[in-house]
A and B are shown apart, each in its own frame.
Chain A
Amino acid sequence: MSDLPIVIENGAAHVTLDLRVYRLTAIKKAAYTIAAQCTVALGAQDGHCQHLTFLAKAGATERSLLEASRVFFQELLDQDLREQISEETSAVRTLVLAHAFSKTDLIRRT
């Protein structure tokens, strides 16, 4: 039996995620990344809960559905971490780019 917080019913896997733990943008990015393995449908939000349905490809087994959801959760952690890094390094990234192009005439100063 899977130790993931999912329920498998009628050939689909159902998960509810806490938006206080995972950002919605990270959830969407993770869903996008694993699209080749399965389709992740986002349901309506209920307070801080986001319902997801993992829809397997035709002919897929319960095992492959569980594997796809496992990959999704790994990817979700990575995507969430990427968003944190993006926020943390935003100022430095802007500084590096501004410094890089500071000697060009591409920016009009008024």
Chain B
Amino acid sequence: MASTPPISSPGSDFMEEFYAECDDHLVEIRRGLLRLEEQLGELSLDREALEKIFRSFHSLKGICGMAGLQEAEKLAHRAEDYLRALTRQEAALTEGGLDILNLVTQKLEEIIIQRRQGRPSPDISALLEQVAGLNSAFRDGTSETDVPAAGTHYPAQASQQIRAARQQGKELWLCEFRPSPELDQRGINLNSARAQLQGLGEILHAAPRVEKGGELVFAFVLASEAGPAGHHPPQAEGIDFKPLAIAEEVQASPDAGPSTVTATGASTFVAPSHFVRVDLARLDDLMRIMGEMVVHRARLDEALGRVSDRLPSADTRKLHEITHGFSRDLRHLRDGLMRVRMVPIGEIFERLPFVVRDLSRESGKKIRLNVKGQSTELDKYLVERLKDPLLHLVRNAVCHGIEESEERSAKGKPEEGTITLRASTVGETVMIEVADDGRGIDPVEVAASARRNGLQVPDDLNPAELLDLLCAPGLSTRDEADLGAGRGIGMAAVKGAVLDLGGEMELDSRPDQGTTFRLRLPLTLAVADALIISAGGQRFAVPQGAVQEITTATEAAINRLEKNEIVKYRNGVLPLVRLAAVFGLGAESRKEFPVLVIGTGLNAVGILADRVLGQREIVVRPVNDPLLKVPGISGATELGDGQAVLILDSASLAQGARARQRQATAKSL
């Protein structure tokens, strides 16, 4: 379609101003669209960004109309409609919608440029269709007015049928059926209502809806042949009939706010409503409560043990069954909670293409980002901790890895550089790769830079050493300067994060071919439930799994047999291990001690502590140095204050005690 004659010829002052203003609006739109791109996966969009884009399209529409650029005006108008629906949350932003907005913006730029150069406008009919498609999906009717389509919306197919029916002169009714026990008793239910309606006409649309008070309503759109003079609503028991008109569509469900349930088989533009966004802190809370429940269960067991002598065995059996079931359910609950914490790594991967787009545009490089394995699931905590490191690695690949297009062509490489993000699980480990096909890391350069900073560097650097250099934060006495290839201090943080998570990092780099960073992380942190106890003034963690029950022993009840101490337990005796004594720590003098029973039956051993402080979920850190290979300790953890807490190896403690017990018994026989 040709433009109508312009108000002034191209190049005039007025037009220059016009072009400048268009530019402003287009930049504003571009910026806003980028912002929206970042938020695509999330359930709520930046309202400010939406408003800005909306206003920009609105203004563009106006000035383009004035300057006689009709095509631009039309496009801007359509985009404005879509944006309006977005700001009112009548539609949700999808990747497709965003793409179309980007295309519209591009097309608008094109139109204006062509105009400026005095060339004919490009064809917009195809794009207009696409935007129209966007808009009709959430709004019924082809009205170009600003009537807000608040409330019910119908999927594209239904809208078309409704329009068609109207055109055919049929009558359209909104029929509502509210199920209730009374109606049900009279044999009037959803199926019978539907059957009745089918007898009256054609059902064009059906959807359930939840009213403000929580009431469930089934709404049908019925098309019936126009009756003779007078439009009387049809009758059917239990169903309310209202004429369906555009204005009434608006009023039909005035209270239908966010609680509206849209039709099944609805358009693809409705945000997935079967996901819940959960604050990680709440999940942590739940885990903590779980932990407390585990302790309570242990105490229940113990109390049960105490009274079981006085109860008939049938009752004790029953009670044990119940606590077993309880304990099993607790375990399932805990496993379920852990699963809830698993999220696909796609969460972080999603944001990165836009970062790459930003950066490559800024640097003028051509870069493509490939993402693989987005559905690989990790503990949410891991994912949170990996956000910054991955961002840093990707940024480095763009800024320092990939060369400019000319350099790449000169090397015989495709002009467009490729960065690949890949995640996969191998057994209990997750592997994440950030690879680029750029210039690689030059070990000579890195070594030279390191030496300049006073580091001693061997002439031959293997990949591990190279990585160390790249990640070396330097000592506090030295400048924390860039260690070569521009990778800088951030790499130290990347390595730090990976180490903190119990993982490792690998570097594979080839000059002119590219660089790959490989991160290997444990899939879930080695996490265990543990009882926190104190003995001899020091805290220790005892893995829950090994503890059968927690009982108590009074000093008076403890008997000595040779060098061993035992206490009466159930129908036998329990050899005791006094932690404070075994560890050479000063024991507290107490009348009563908690005893953690390890093992069952004849193998049971009791570990005597000073106090049980609580139960916690701990992250197990290995303790591997030969200097730390001491009996009874299997690792360490940290309870939130940075202080290391040793983890007991209850099995070996128990074994030692049992051995002593056997000897003593053998001797006494």
| A and B form one complex | no
| Contacts from B to A (Cβ < 8 Å) | none
Which A positions have Cβ atoms within 8 angstroms of B? none
